[in-house]
């Protein structure tokens, strides 16, 4: 197999993704293996890939690929969300471009256009995820409005209605005047606004006196039906039992007294508009006040808005203030900073509105969803999000689940007028509703078309809360093989901003319909920010196009760039240079492959001791790092796991191990060492594969072919060809993930000393201007009573270019020395030495060592520390003292020698 001089991500990535799809390596079916299940947080069908998606799906892919290599039956289910508000807006815009007004269409006509848009434009993001390397089971791709998911949602609505958990009522809701629909509390984003506080005069009925009332929304005085003051506010006791006149409206309204009023806000007198404020609504219910709705659904004033009818609410605010000012009814206007609710979907300012809506009771569902998290049946990573989750569930309100849209699951409620009364029948289909109606009201209804179905659709989240269940058809067929095998899922990767919208509600659905949690772990990603700390967004223009990044740096480079700076739950300070670091890493591994492939191999050479100990060290080092990485994965510290893998490959393998083995120019390497090197290289690629799937697949194939050609079947051409053909059908992604085994720390410690010796000699050469080709002598004075480990001496001789290593009991006169812990190393040099400069360097080291010793002595002279600290801690400090004293003595001896 020929190896290209440069790694080309484009050709490699396309080639291997096609291969994986052709071999159906992502596909899963229930079998006797342990399942590992992840369901993708379904992106909006309107969406395209952004940096948040990149981070989330990279993390999912890492976990899924690792599970697959650990022998589990990994199933990662992709899909998209129908996104009622966003998609309907897209369809309405498309119709406008064609000269069609939605209001001129019947519902069925509009839905045809909506499905047309979805088929043409929807799902782009799923195609883009393939560029990232996402190993989803694409055969299972789902959509929240496909037949299985649609019917599942309808059946759940009917079931919860029959259980008394769903009800319809007139309530104050959050109204989006742009999308023309109610939205839930969780879909309202509060933004700081620089507003005005308007002080208006309300004259007492029949008197020449007035009180001043402060409001941020003067346009709503058209709906005022009372003024409220605190019963203990001395300023307003004289108003008890009186009425005031609403300015500009001339409507007398009562003064009511209630402890709800904040005496410190404004003037302590509060205008009450029950139809347009949730707190005013509650006071209106308490005191039996009239509710006057002054707004149309689109935020314009209706006929109750008097001369302002038809005006936009914000235009009305300006107009009414002008009129009130001219009438002498304005006391003053002040600047005021407050929080204003905006629709998460359209960014329109939310209008509190009384509306008949469908609600789901939370009183039964929420406590169960809280308990499973409190009891750690579901674990949050990081755990800090439990507090946010708890606070929300302990203060939860009933969920408004109806939306005034056409795109979505239509509410399966049917209406029939019987004896002048509107009756409601809830059923899965119109036919079932008709059957119920015939039984309940015999003779009244003669055909299904007499039933009028509710016009509203269900909140998008009412479909996605069933996602882990409905993906395996667990609502329609609750005992099918797939739901029993794949549910509950294992890991959910999501952003913390949908912990309420989605995470909590999926847990509720799981407990209600499976009597089991929907997942065992929730990994919360952070927010991707730019170098200035700003959240990446289209509006700021600070979000790079993910596909362009992949084209520039390769998918592996971008994945690595995302993960290296993405600890769980913490924001990701994205810098494109980290993607460049990822690309450089891929090139580094590629060059390591080219180096190894370029070595000639001899079957006649026996493995020498240096090669044997080098292989032994590398295997021990891998085992040590694997142990640490496995703990990182157990604790969902993926960023740390990647960094350790990166250092193992770049530093230990490429920079040290290959240099330790590299034969002299024109000299072959023995086949045993070469075979071990390839095996180690293969295992490293397996460790790295979940993070960087493309380059590892390419290199792994080159390595197994190389082993076949140069080691296993070197002398059997027929078998070699058969094996190469077989290798071509294999994939690294179904190889076994290496696992940690016992390792001897003494081997690692011995090499660390050898590495420091090599570095010390190299530093000495650089500082003294000595040629790398000049062979030096190295004398080593071990710590008193310590027997040196000489296994790596041959490596030191080779890489430091020293003639030999001699172990001595005394210092070597006239030599430059350096310390490795408490071991002193000496290198005699023939060139003239600047003794004063050397002494100055040593004196600086001495000063630091003496300062360190002083800090240790301060601790040890503290009786409270010595008597109160654990014995191990005190022992560590005493060892530090002994080491520091020994080091100080050695440095002083070096200075004396030079003097």
The whole-number pLDDT of residue 118 equals 92
By the 8 A CB rule, do 683 and 732 touch?
no
Q: What percent of the chain has pLDDT over 70?
A: 97
The whole-number pLDDT of residue 568 equals 64
The whole-number pLDDT of residue 433 equals 95
The whole-number pLDDT of residue 538 equals 64
Q: What does the block give as tokens for 51? A: 């940096």
3-state secondary structure of 143: strand
Per residue in 321-366, pLDDT tens? 999 999 999 999 999 988 999 998 888 999 998 888 999 999 999 9
By the 8 A CB rule, do 244 and 188 touch?
no
d(CA 810, CA 537): 67
The whole-number pLDDT of residue 243 equals 95
Backbone angles phi, psi at 812, to 5 degrees: -100, 115
> How much is the average pLDDT of 70-84?
96
Per residue in 437-453, pLDDT tens? 999 998 888 889 889 99
By the 8 A CB rule, do 568 and 524 touch?
yes
d(CA 848, CA 854): 10
The whole-number pLDDT of residue 99 equals 95
76 pLDDT above the threshold of 60: yes
* Band of pLDDT at residue 218, cut at 50, 70 and 90: very high
> How much is the average pLDDT of 95-119?
94
The whole-number pLDDT of residue 830 equals 64
Q: Using a cut of 0.95, tell me whether the model's pTM lies above it.
A: no
As a whole number, the mean pLDDT across the chain is 91
Which range among 212-226, 282-296, 503-517, 815-829 shows the weakest confidence by mean pLDDT? 815-829
The closest of 799, 804, 762, 764 to 780, measured between CA atoms, is 804
The closest of 339, 332, 352, 212 to 276, measured between CA atoms, is 352
132 pLDDT above the threshold of 70: yes
Q: How far, rounded to the nearest angstrom, does the alpha carbon of residue 663 sit from its chain's CA centroid?
A: 46
The closest of 554, 556, 486 to 62, measured between CA atoms, is 556
- Our separate counts of H helices and E strands in the chain read 28, 31
Per residue in 470-508, pLDDT tens? 999 999 999 999 999 999 999 999 988 889 989 999 999
The whole-number pLDDT of residue 246 equals 95
Cα dist from 481 to 29, 474, 477, 517, whole Å = 10, 10, 9, 18
* Other Cβ atoms closer than 10 A to 646: 20
Cα dist from 366 to 41, 174, 198, 508, whole Å = 22, 21, 41, 7
d(CA 40, CA 79): 7
Per residue in 224-280, pLDDT tens? 999 999 999 999 999 999 999 999 999 999 999 999 999 888 899 999 999 999 899
The whole-number pLDDT of residue 75 equals 98
The whole-number pLDDT of residue 394 equals 94
The DSSP string of 309-371 is TTSBHHHHHHHHHHHHHHTT-EEEEEEEEEEEEEETTT-PBPEEEEEEEEEE--TTHHHHHHH
* Band of pLDDT at residue 570, cut at 50, 70 and 90: confident
Per residue in 676-718, pLDDT tens? 999 999 999 999 999 999 999 999 999 988 887 776 666 667 6
Tokens 């009786």 correspond to 863
Which range among 176-190, 281-295, 602-616 shows the weakest confidence by mean pLDDT? 176-190
199 pLDDT above the threshold of 90: yes
d(CA 454, CA 158): 14
By the 8 A CB rule, do 657 and 618 touch?
yes
831 pLDDT above the threshold of 60: no
By the 8 A CB rule, do 68 and 733 touch?
yes
- Torsional class of 469: left (φ above 0), alpha (ψ -120 to 50), beta (otherwise): alpha
The whole-number pLDDT of residue 412 equals 98
Which residues have C-beta within 8 Å of that of residue 831, sequence separation ≥ 6?
A: 768, 769, 770
The DSSP string of 501-547 is IIIIHHHHHHHHHTSS-SEEEEEE---EE-TTSPBP-TTTT----HH
The closest of 786, 798, 789 to 747, measured between CA atoms, is 789
832 pLDDT above the threshold of 60: no
d(CA 75, CA 38): 6
> How much is the average pLDDT of 395-424?
93
> How much is the average pLDDT of 522-537?
84
The whole-number pLDDT of residue 712 equals 65
């Amino acid at each position: 197999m020929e190896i290209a001089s440069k790694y080309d991500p484009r050709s490699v990535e396309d080639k291997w993704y096609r291969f994986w799809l052709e071999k159906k390596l992502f596909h899963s079916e229930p079998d006797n293996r342990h399942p590992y299940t992840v369901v993708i947080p379904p992106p909006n069908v309107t969406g395209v890939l952004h940096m948040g998606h990149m981070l989330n799906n990279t993390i999912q892919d890492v976990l899924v690929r690792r599970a697959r290599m650990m022998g589990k039956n990994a199933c990662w289910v992709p899909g998209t969300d129908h996104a009622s508000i966003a998609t309907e807006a897209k369809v309405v815009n498309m119709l406008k471009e064609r000269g069609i007004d939605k209001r001129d269409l019947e519902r069925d006509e509009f839905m045809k256009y909506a499905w047309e848009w979805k088929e043409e434009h929807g799902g782009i993001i799923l195609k883009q995820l393939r560029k990232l390397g996402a190993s989803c089971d694409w055969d299972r791709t789902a959509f929240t409005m496909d037949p299985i998911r649609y019917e599942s949602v309808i059946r759940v609505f009917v079931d919860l209605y029959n259980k008394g958990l769903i009800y319809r009522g007139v309530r104050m809701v959050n109204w989006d005047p742009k999308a023309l629909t109610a939205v839930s509390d969780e879909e309202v984003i509060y933004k700081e606004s620089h507003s005005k506080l308007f002080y208006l005069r309300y004259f007492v009925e029949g008197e020449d006196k007035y009180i001043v009332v402060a409001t941020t929304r003067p346009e709503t005085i058209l709906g005022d039906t009372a003024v409220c003051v605190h019963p203990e506010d001395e300023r307003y006791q004289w108003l008890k039992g009186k009425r005031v006149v609403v300015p500009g409206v001339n409507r007398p309204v009562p003064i009511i007294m209630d402890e709800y009023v904040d005496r410190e806000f404004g003037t302590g007198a509060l205008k009450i508009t029950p139809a347009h404020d949730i707190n005013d609504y509650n006071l209106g219910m308490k005191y039996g006040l009239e509710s006057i709705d002054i707004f149309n659904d689109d935020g314009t004033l209706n006929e109750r808005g008097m001369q302002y009818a038809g005006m936009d609410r914000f235009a009305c605010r300006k107009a009414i203030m002008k009129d009130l000012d001219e009438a002498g009814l304005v006391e003053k206007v002040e600047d005021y900073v407050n929080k204003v609710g905006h629709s998460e979907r359209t960014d329109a300012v939310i209008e509190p509105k009384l509306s008949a809506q469908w609600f789901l009771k939370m009183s039964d569902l929420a406590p169960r969803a809280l308990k499973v998290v409190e009891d750690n049946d579901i674990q949050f990573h990081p755990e800090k999000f439990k507090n946010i989750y708890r606070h929300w569930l302990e203060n939860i309100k009933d969920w408004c689940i109806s939306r005034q849209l056409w795109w979505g699951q239509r509410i399966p409620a049917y209406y029939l007028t019987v004896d002048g009364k509107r009756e409601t029948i809830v059923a899965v289909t119109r036919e079932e509703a008709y059957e119920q109606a015939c039984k309940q009201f015999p003779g009244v209804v003669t055909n299904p078309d007499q039933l009028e179905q509710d016009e509203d659709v269900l909140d998008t989240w009412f479909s996605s809360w069933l996602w882990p269940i409905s993906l395996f058809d667990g609502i329609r067929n609750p005992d099918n093989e797939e739901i029993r095998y794949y549910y509950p899922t294992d890991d959910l990767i999501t952003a913390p901003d949908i912990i309420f919208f989605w995470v909590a509600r999926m847990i509720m659905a799981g407990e209600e319909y499976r009597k089991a949690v929907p997942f065992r772990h929730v990994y919360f990603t952070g927010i991707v920010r730019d170098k200035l700390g700003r959240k990446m967004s289209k509006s700021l223009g600070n979000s790079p196009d993910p596909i362009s990044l992949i084209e520039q740096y390769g998918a592996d480079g971008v994945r690595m760039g995302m993960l290296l700076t993405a600890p769980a739950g913490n924001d990701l300070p994205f810098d494109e240079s980290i993607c460049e670091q990822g690309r450089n890493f891929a090139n580094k591994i590629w060059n390591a492959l080219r180096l190894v492939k370029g070595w000639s191999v001899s079957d006649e050479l026996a493995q020498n001791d240096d090669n044997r100990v080098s292989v032994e060290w590398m295997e021990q080092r891998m085992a040590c790092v694997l142990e640490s990485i496995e703990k990182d994965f157990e604790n969902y510290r993926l960023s740390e796991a990647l960094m350790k893998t990166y250092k193992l490959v770049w530093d230990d393998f490429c920079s040290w191990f290959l240099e330790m083995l590299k034969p002299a120019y024109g000299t072959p390497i023995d086949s045993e060492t070469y075979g071990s090197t390839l095996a180690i290289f293969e295992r490293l690629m397996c460790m790295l594969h979940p993070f960087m799937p493309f380059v590892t697949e390419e290199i792994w194939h080159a390595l197994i072919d190389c082993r076949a050609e140069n080691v296993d079947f070197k002398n059997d051409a027929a078998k070699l060809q058969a094996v190469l053909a077989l290798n071509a059908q294999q994939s690294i992604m179904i190889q076994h993930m290496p696992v940690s085994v016992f390792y001897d720390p003494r081997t690692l410690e011995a090499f660390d000393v050898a590495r420091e010796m090599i570095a010390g000699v190299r530093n000495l050469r650089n500082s003294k201007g000595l040629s790398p080709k000049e062979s030096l002598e190295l004398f080593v004075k071990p710590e008193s009573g310590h027997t040196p480990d000489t296994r790596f001496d041959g490596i030191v001789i080779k890489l430091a270019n020293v003639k030999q290593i001699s172990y001595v009991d005394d210092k070597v006169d006239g030599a430059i020395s350096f310390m490795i812990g408490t071991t002193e190393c000496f290198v005699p040099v023939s060139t003239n030495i600047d003794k004063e400069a050397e002494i100055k360097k040593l004196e600086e080291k001495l000063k630091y060592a003496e300062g360190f010793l002083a800090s240790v002595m301060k601790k040890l002279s503290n009786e409270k520390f010595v008597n109160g600290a654990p014995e191990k801690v005190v022992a560590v400090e005493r060892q530090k003292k002994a080491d520091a004293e020994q080091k100080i003595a050695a440095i002083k001896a070096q200075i004396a020698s030079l003097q």
